[in-house]
Structure 1
Amino acid sequence: MKILLVDGTIIGRKTGAILEQVQTYIKDFNPDMELVMLSLADYEHQFVDGRPLGEYNKDMQEIVHRFENADGYIIATPIFQGSIPGVLKNTFDMLHPRTMRYKPVSIVANGGTYQHHLVIENQLKPILDYFRCLVTPNYVYTHTSHFDDTNTIINEDVHDRLRELARVFVQYAEMSQNLSKETIDNP
């Protein structure tokens, strides 16, 4: 299985640090999974405006193809101004509604206040529900105090929650292999 670990921002290092830790824990539970990082900071983005995919630049097309070719996702996002970054929402806007259907997804996020975890519940989960993803019930929200000056996670509770997230994600991924991605209804 190919799992896309999505760093959903173009600035900062904390979401990437969380993804690297999740990658390590997933490998502990299933070393056979192919884990591929996708950092949105590595691409030249265009605003999504409804054009056909072929009319966007190669970077935007590559992002879409990487999502299409993945069997599951770990979505990492910072919370800015009480919301997910525009670049992450723009990426979701590029995807066909069936792209992520019945594929497992886990969420990790970080922010500067403890209240921002609600963005996951109020913004990110509804988007993933629209795509009909298999969203794991546990997500991990981190606060800036959980990191040291080098963006290393120093909080043991966060490590425990990331391990649990990885364990549950692997089980969802295995379960999803038996689900048909075909549908008899419209998107």
Structure 2
Amino acid sequence: MKILLVDGTIIGRKTGAILEQVKGYIEDANPELELKILSLADFEHQFVDGRPLGEYNEDMQEMVRRFENADGYIIATPIFQGSIPGVLKNAFDMLHPRTMRYKPVSIVANGGTYQHHLVIENQLKPILDYFRCLVTPNYVYTHTSHFDETNSITNEDVHERLRELARVFVQYAEMSKHLSKETIDTP
């Protein structure tokens, strides 16, 4: 199975650090999964405005192809101004509604206040529900205080929650193999 680990921002280092840590824990839980990181910072973004996919630049088309070819996702996002980054929402807006259907998704996020975890519940989960993803029930939210000056996670409770997230994600990935997969060409 191909798992896409999405670094949902174009600035900062903490989100990528969390994603790398989760990647290691998933590899420990199931080394047979093919894990690829997609960093939104590596793409030239255009605003999604409803035109056909072929009218966007090659980077935008490649990003969509990577989402379409994946069998599951880890979505990593910072929380800015009480919301997910616009670049992440823009990426979701590029996707056909069936692209992520019945595929497992886990969420990791970081922010500067402890209340920002509510953004996951109030913004990100509804978007993933729209796509009909298999969202694992255990997301991990980290706070700035959980990192050292090199952006390494220093909080052991966070490590334990990330290991648990990886374990549950692997189970959801296994379960998703047996669900009907509708192609994005199906009306």
What TM-score does the superposition give when structure 2 sets the normalisation length?
0.98
Code of the residue aligned with 1:5 in structure 2: it is L
Q: Deviations over 1:30-85 (max 9, x none)?
A: 00000000000000000000000000000000000000000000000000000000
CA distance in 2 between counterparts of 1:181 and 1:120 reads: 26
- How far did residue 182 of structure 1 move? 2.2
Task: Give matches, 1:114-153, under 5 Å.
Answer: 114-153=114-153
C-alpha RMSD over aligned residues? 1.0
Structure 2 residue runs without a partner (length 5+): none
Aligned residue for 1:149, secondary structure, equals coil
- Paired with 1:56 and 1:13, the residues of 2 have a C-alpha distance of 28
- Give the Cα–Cα distance (whole angstroms) in 2 for the partners of residues 143 and 182 of structure 1: 38
Alignment TM-score, normalising by the size of structure 1: 0.98
- Deviant stretches of 4+, over 3 Å: none
What residue number does 1:36 align with?
36
Partner SS for 2:169: helix
Q: In structure 2, what is the Cα distance between the partners aligned to 1:68 and 1:109?
A: 23
Partner of 2:84: 84
Q: In the TM superposition, what are the counterparts of 1:28-107 in structure 2 within 5 Å?
A: 28-107=28-107
Task: Give the Cα separation in 2 of the matches to 1:125 and 1:8.
Answer: 15
Which whole-Å CA distance do the structure 2 matches of 1:145 and 1:29 have between them? Answer: 27
The offset of 1:181, in angstroms, is 1.3
Deviations 1:5-54 (A, max 9, x none): 00000000001000000000001110000000000000000000000000
Q: Deviations over 1:106-156 (max 9, x none)?
A: 000000000000000000000000000000000000000000000000000
Paired residues in the alignment total 185
**Structure 1 vs Structure 2: percent identity of aligned residues?**
89
1: CA distance between counterparts of 2:44 and 2:124? 23
